[in-house]
Amino acid sequence: DGPGWSYVDGVLHCDGMSLEDLRMSLRKDYGHQGSPAHVYSHSALVANVRKYTDALCPLGERGTLSYSLKANSNLRVLETLRQAGVTMATTVSGNEILMAMKAGFAASNIIYNGTGKRRWEVELAVKHGVLLNLDSEFDARLIAGVAREVGVRARCLVRLNPALNADTHPYLATALADSKFGVEFHQLEKVLQAVRAGESGNEEHVAVEGVHIHVGSAVSRTRVYADMTRAAARTLREIRERGWPRASTINLGGGLNIRLSGVPRKDGEDQERPATPENLVDAILPILPQDTTLLLEPGRSLVATAGVLMTEVLGVKTNGDRRFLVVDSAMTEVIRPALYGAHHPVTHVTVPSSQERAAMDVVGPVCESGDFLARRCMLSPNPPSGAALVVWATGAYCSSMASNYNLRPHAVEVIVRAPDLYTIVRRPENFEDLVSCYL
Ligand code: LLP
């Protein structure tokens, strides 16, 4: 259990509220659509922000925390993070920019990142003074062109591909030599020339304010961040020499993995202890040049452990030597095990009185063999149908990666704040919602 989560008398509680009580209440409001449910702990969200703001404290004004919306873009989760002390928001689409603004982030505190930006998205960003990450030569031309047309100077960071190995799942590494993201150091000159293209006289359409690097996600060791800081400092010097002497921002992306206490890995060994935000800043600080400001833009480490997915048992069956626990949630709600082989522990909401446990595959109703939430999970061998389970650490990249496959509605989402205080922050779609887009 992390902050916000605890078993009291054998029942899982979130910020003091029994999840069994929460379940009854949701069922009353939404019938069978009250499950599965994404449940977020308000205190865990706040505690996760605090770890970063405390870690950045030694930097004072020179350190800023930006939240990467893609991890969880629920409007009320965004508001909670902002109120807890997150000052900026990192986005990857026009709609994420609009959502960040709706959550109260000032446009000048929004970063828009992307390998493939569409014109309307660039126009939206430039008009509102959003900071854009410039990803390639064609991206530089597009941004400079739009800035010229709308008559607003675009603020940019150059995203560098430093060819560093973040030591993570291949799908989660973003800065290998052959990754699609960012520009290589040797391309910098050309990209900066493209930024200048179309300028006449003293008119500057693009202000290059600094450099951005994100090496990947679910990174457990901070050593790579020291190398990133060096690469960023070198790039910044180059940018200054090539005509933007005041460039001073170093954005080192997100990427920190989360700690799940006491969770054995598949091979039976304890999970290595991933670095904390404090470790991260410790790795960066000694190398960060004095005349620069640091931006960090985590997603997962701010929200993952603040959420669980609550689901109900539909039945138990055996095929071959496998025992399957069939539940009402599926890869549509939690795609990470199928997509990355990610491990999300599953436990009972109410601990069964019998100590007996069996290895079970927790699977859902979706018609895919890849539809599993956990494999070989030690659970009570015969839980009654209707019994509740939770899938842990689903606050990041679960709701935001959900799909309507098999015409399944999105799971209801709830933020719990106190024993008798919770807010429904997303309703499930009903059939009319799902059918309304068909013309
Ligand atoms: N900054 C940039 C430029 C990014 O591309 C990302 C994530 C982040 C920050 C935030 O990274 P985080 O702190 O969350 O690791 N769907 C995958 C994760 C993809 C991450 C993509 N980029 C998953 O479920 O693990």
Among 300, 339, 397, 400, say which to mutate for ligand 1: greatest number of ligand atoms within 8 Å of CB: 300
Catalytic residues: 367
Query: Could you tell me if 282 and 316 lie in one domain?
Result: no
Whether residues 171 and 317 share a domain: the answer is no
Task: Please indicate, yes or no, if residue 86 is contained in any of the structural domains.
Answer: no
d(C-alpha 156, C-alpha 108), whole Å: 12
pLDDT tens digit sequence for 11-27: 999 999 999 999 999 99
**pLDDT above 50: residue 77:** yes
Which tens digit of pLDDT belongs to each residue from 342-351? 999 999 999 9
pLDDT at 3: 87
Q: What angle is formed at CA 117 by the lines to CA 116 and CA 122, rounded to 5 degrees?
A: 165
Mean pLDDT calculated for residue range 404-416: 98
Rounded-to-integer distance, Cα 428 and Cα 401, Å: 15
171 and 292 part of one domain: yes
Residue 51 lies in a domain: no
Range of the domain at 400: 5-41+305-429
193 and 167 within one domain: yes
pLDDT digits (tens, 9 = 90+) for 198-252: 777 777 899 999 999 999 888 888 989 999 999 999 999 999 999 999 999 999 9
User: pLDDT, tens digit, for every residue of 31-51?
Assistant: 999 999 999 999 999 999 999
In a domain, 76, yes or no: no
- Take residue 315 and report the two structure tokens written for it: 């039945």
Whose CA is closest to atom 20 on ligand 1?
217
Q: How far apart (Å, rounded) are the C-alpha atoms in residues 87 and 106?
A: 9
What average pLDDT does the structure give for the chain? 94
Does the C-beta of 344 come closer than 6 Å to ligand 1? no
Neighbour order of strands in the sheet with 11-14: 5-8, 11-14, 17-18
Contact 272, 257 (CB under 8 A): no
Q: Is the CB of 68 under 6 A from ligand 1?
A: yes
- Phi-psi category of 143—alpha, beta or left, where left has phi over 0 and alpha has psi -120 to 50? alpha
The verdict on residue 372 lying in a domain is yes
Give the pLDDT band of residue 261 (cuts 50, 70, 90): low
For tokens 């999300």, the residue is 344
Residue 202 tokens, joined: 């003293």
Same domain, 148 and 11: no
Q: What are phi and psi of 86, to 5 degrees?
A: -80, 125
Task: Determine whether the shortest distance from the Cβ of 63 to ligand 1 is under 6 A.
Answer: no
Write the CA distances from 145 to 111, 149, 159, 234, 369, integer angstroms. 19, 6, 19, 28, 48
**Could you tell me if 256 and 198 lie in one domain?**
yes
According to the model, what pLDDT value does residue 1 have?
A: 57
Ligand 1 neighbourhood includes 4 CB (under 6 angstroms): no
| Ligand 1 pocket: which of 68, 93, 179, 225 to mutate (most atoms within 8 A of CB) | 68
Average pLDDT over residues 334-338: 96
Task: Pick the atom of ligand 1 nearest to 401's CA.
Answer: 16
Q: How far apart (Å, rounded) are the C-alpha atoms in residues 19 and 12?
A: 6
* CA 214 to ligand 1 centroid distance, Å: 9
The answer, yes or no, to whether any atom of ligand 1 lies below 6 A from the CB of 71, is yes
pLDDT at 200: 74
Q: Which amino acid is at 55?
A: A
Give residue 395 CA to ligand 1 midpoint distance, Å.
13
Task: Give residue-wise pLDDT tens across range 137-191.
Answer: 999 999 999 999 999 999 999 999 998 887 777 777 777 778 899 999 999 999 9
ipTM value: 0.99
Domain harbouring 348, CATH code:
2.40.37.10
- Residue 262 pLDDT: 45
pLDDT tens per residue across span 307-327: 999 999 999 999 999 999 999
What pLDDT shows up at residue 125? 98
Q: Is the pLDDT of residue 269 over 60?
A: no
